[in-house]
Chain A
Amino acid sequence: MTSRPQADLPDIPQPLTYFVDGMDCASCVVKVERMVDTLPGTEGVKTSFTKQTLTLHLDEHQTSRATLEKNLKALGYTPSLLRQSPPAVTTPPEAHDHAGHDHTGHDHAEHEHAGHTHEVAPAGTPWYRTGQGRLVVTSGILLLAAWLFGFIEPRFATAGYIAATLLGVWPLAKKAVASARLGDPFSINMLVSLAAIGAVAIGEAPEGAVVVFFFAIGELLEGVAAGRARAGIQALAALAPKTALLVEGTGTREVPADQLQVGQTVQVNPGARVPADGTILRGTSSLDDSPVTGESVPVTKSAGDMVFAGSINTDGTLTIQVEKAANDNTIARIIHLVEEAESNKAPTARFIDRFSRWYTPGVVLVSALVILVPPLAFGGAWHDWLYKGISLLLIGCPCALVLSVPASITSAISAGTRRGLLIKGGGALETIGSVKTIAFDKTGTLTAGKPKVTDVLGQGLDRAEVLRLAAAVESGSSHPLAKAITQAAQESQITVPPATDAQALPGRGATATVEGRALSVTSPRHAATLAPLSAALSGAVTSFEEQGRTAVVLLEGQTPLGVIAIRDEPRPDARAALAQLHGLGVKTVMLTGDNARTGQAIARDLGLDVQAELLPEDKLRLIGELKAQGGVAMVGDGINDAPALAQSDVGIAMGGGTDVALETADAALLQERVTGVADLVALSRATMGNIKVNIAFALGLKAIFLVTTLLGYTNLWMAILADTGATALVTANALRLLRWKSQATTKTPPIAPAPHTA
């Protein structure tokens, strides 16, 4: 839905209305509107979703109907002009309804996971104010009181221990019952509950109380670790300013930022932060987007560019049209996605559940055997063996184990987010590091998606003249190659003369009359059908194409005047990023719809495999094949290749500030850097390594104390203390991930083929 501010409309009698065949999806509408917007002389462009029509005012002195229609056909749509009907007005979706939404805090759906969940406390809550914290404090006080009473009046002490045990076991038992209802009777919670109740039953309440207490501490520590990780993310939200300068008439008025409505206009002065997501209407400035993307180098933006709430406007004054309400802006969505991701369990977290599925019955079985076999078979004393069996149960409680995974995942997701790597869940975080192949879309991913003129060759006239005439011919076209030519003329500060009778020749080029001369800019193939190119020019064309460039020929009538080479440059860090990935042992392949010669040339420059001339369905088929060969991640822009991203094991969207990319991808790189992909792989592997260390540590200690206790070298208390030590170490190890830094600091010069000298 275009909502361009209406400039003074030229005095045109009737708007044109086209039925656009093939424009059947929302992104097609955006594509069409963008293209039409860039044509000179178009005003008031509107699309009707109801009628699939495009309505606009067209100043035909600047762009002819034929040019507009040719441009639409070049994009793959078939326009048919409707009888001059009353203009079809877009029905805007009903006004935003912000009534009845509760925006205080996040309602996290209570996932009743069988296993281990923890509450999400609002940021800034001290640990002792959380539910888990209160539980720990209360049972701690009870324990201490009971222990002190032990010196005065042992009977009270026992009551205290029992009370502390029951208090601590209650929430665990509730979770255990819930898991059992969901068909998972052997959860970790069940094990701890059994052990504690067993301890009380045999009159060893102190041990039971202490085990439950330490288990609660373990869970509390995990909550603290998660809170530490979240605090860093939620600090981002605080960066959006509280007030905004609303533009009203000729002046501005200060209003609270959270009351801004979509469609309003705000002014942002130099040095201020942007109050809302929106589009720049007027002004140019360098913006520091680091709160959103983690990118610390300011980005220059001007009219038409998107800005994010929370970015710092460093130098110019900007007028911005608000496009998102405060609760729905990019930074709020990122925070929400990260919080969801951190409460989603990774497959490895589920590994803990799977593990407890055999671990818990195993421990219970061994305890039962210890309790039953010696008295029955060898006439041992019931009480002694009962005690030993219950001790085993108590030692078997894996306090450190339950937090070994979630704490690491939470820390890693937070560390990634602060570096512009948005990972939407533990599952994605785990998979990225283990894929065999990473497939890259070419345009807009490995390349900047902005073709640039690299060489200009004249035949009997100088370069500036070739560029001046070609730019005039192409001035009305929105084709990427045409835009590259007009932009090059602009950068060389060439005054482009007006063109008349401009016509697009789809797939071949464009023609126009400039300064009374009949000129055309065409593909070399088309030019060769009119007149043979000189040896110098045709040699240049061949070598340009072998260097991954696209060549076009400027003709007057049938006489070639010059050749222009255009190239969609690889991103400066693409080569280094691919080298890093190869260093990590990951195979890379480029998927492109381009012609094979150009595709191969670019892939050769960057050093990766290529599959060229692909149709969308070929991409899906290839992704499927790579998936069968052991996991594939797909990197794209998240818009044009959403199906391929969805098909892969992990879909990674680059420059993913858009809603669609954030929703469809499993991970999004908020900076326009290919090295982010290598960072993701490295972060994933660092996380999995961290988790493995944690699990080994927790289980290793368990095994040692289990054996030594059975043999009588250590007692129950030592085992419990060791487990507490392990819990603290595991938490500290997980928090190390918060300080994770990308290794990608190697700077390599950008790749630019040497200019061709003919």
Chain B
Amino acid sequence: MPDITLYTVPQCADCEAIKRLLQHEDAPFTEKNVRGDPQALAEMQRRADVRIAPVTIIDDQVFYGPFSDQRHRILAALGKRT
């Protein structure tokens, strides 16, 4: 099982969609809310060099941007069809 961390903010449809996608693929992940949590935000910037959620980190691969950009990359990283 790959190690997956998902950085999110509340009320964010793209974050919600990625959560659903990972649950659907039975891929366990750690969710970190970066809004109002400077430590988590700093960690997200350190690992991904991105300030805007959602950010998905699968092992050593970093994905960011809207859900439609991330979806097939996440599936490919999980070894699924795109």
Question: A and B: real partners?
Answer: yes
Closest to A1 in B: B65
- Residues of A within 8 Å of B63, CB to CB, are 93
Give Cα A112–Cα B75 distance, bound, in whole angstroms.
21
A244: interface (CB < 8 Å)? no
Residues in B with CB closer than 8 Å to A97 are: 76
* Docked pose: A47 CA to B14 CA in angstroms: 17
A320 at the interface (CB under 8 A from B): no
Give chain B's interface residue range (CB within 8 Å of chain A): 20 to 34
Binds B, one of A49-57, A205-213, A393-401: A49-57
Contact check, A49 vs B52: say whether CB atoms are below 8 A apart.
yes
B3 close to chain A: CB less than 8 A:
no
Is the pair B82, A101 in contact by a Cβ cutoff of 8 Å? yes
Contacts of B16 in A (CB 8 A): 642-643, 646, 660, 664
> Beyond A107-B81, A328-B72, is A664–B13 a contact (Cβ under 8 Å)?
yes
Residue A659 interfacial (CB < 8 Å): yes
Cβ of A26 under 8 Å from chain B: yes
- 1/0 per residue, CB under 8 A from A, across B52-82: the answer is 1110000000011111110111001000111
Q: Are B51 and A664 in contact (CB under 8 A)?
A: no
Partner of B51, one of A24, A103, A106, A642: A24
**Hey, what's the 0/1 contact readout for B26-40 against A, CB within 8 Å counting as 1?**
000000001100000
Any chain B CB within 8 A of the CB of A23?
yes
Q: Check B13–A660 contact: CB distance below 8 A.
A: yes
| B47 contacts the other chain (CB 8 A) | no
CA–CA, A93 and B72, complex, Å: 12
Q: Which of B52, B68, B71 contacts A52 (CB 8 A)?
A: B52
Query: Is the beta-carbon distance between A25 and B14 smaller than 8 angstroms?
Result: yes
Is A630 interfacial (CB-CB < 8 Å)? no
B14 touches which of A27, A101, A103, A106 (Cβ 8 Å): A27
**Does any Cβ of A come within 8 Å of B21's Cβ?**
yes
A102 within 8 A of B: yes
Q: Are B71 and A26 in contact (CB under 8 A)?
A: no
The docked-state distance in angstroms from the alpha carbon of A726 to that of B6 is 51
Complex CA–CA separation, A101 to B80 (angstroms): 9
Chain B residues closer than 8 Å to A259, beta-carbon distance? none
Output the nearest chain A residue to B41 by Cβ-Cβ distance.
A24
Please encode chain A, from 495 to 538, with 1 for each CB lying within 8 Å of some chain B CB and 0 for all others.
Answer: 00000000000000000000000000000000000000000000
Q: Does B50 contact A (CB under 8 A)?
A: yes
Closest A residue to B66 by beta carbon equals: A26
Cβ < 8 Å to B, chain A residues 295-339:
327-328
Q: Are A660 and B14 in contact (CB under 8 A)?
A: yes
Q: Is the CB of A26 within 8 A of B14?
A: yes
Contact A663 to B65, CB < 8 A, known contacts A49-B51, A101-B76: no
Closest residue to A30 on the B side, CB-wise? Answer: B66
Residue among B10, B14, B35, B71 with the most chain A CB within 10 A?
B14
- CB pair A93 B69 closer than 8 Å: yes
For residue A639, which residues in chain B have a CB less than 8 angstroms away from its CB?
13
Q: Are the C-beta atoms of B17 and A25 separated by less than 8 Å?
A: no
Please pick, from A47, A103, A328, A663, the residue contacting B21 in the complex, using a CB distance under 8 A: A663
**12 contacting pairs across A/B (C-beta < 8 A):** A1-B65, A1-B69, A25-B9, A25-B11, A26-B14, A26-B53, A27-B12, A28-B12, A49-B50, A49-B64, A328-B72, A659-B71
Nearest 5 pairs of A and B residues by beta carbon: A642-B13, A52-B51, A25-B12, A642-B16, A663-B17
User: Which residues in A have some Cβ–Cβ distance to B below 8 Å?
Assistant: 1, 23-30, 47, 49-52, 93, 97, 101-103, 106-107, 327-328, 616, 638-640, 642-643, 646, 658-660, 663-664
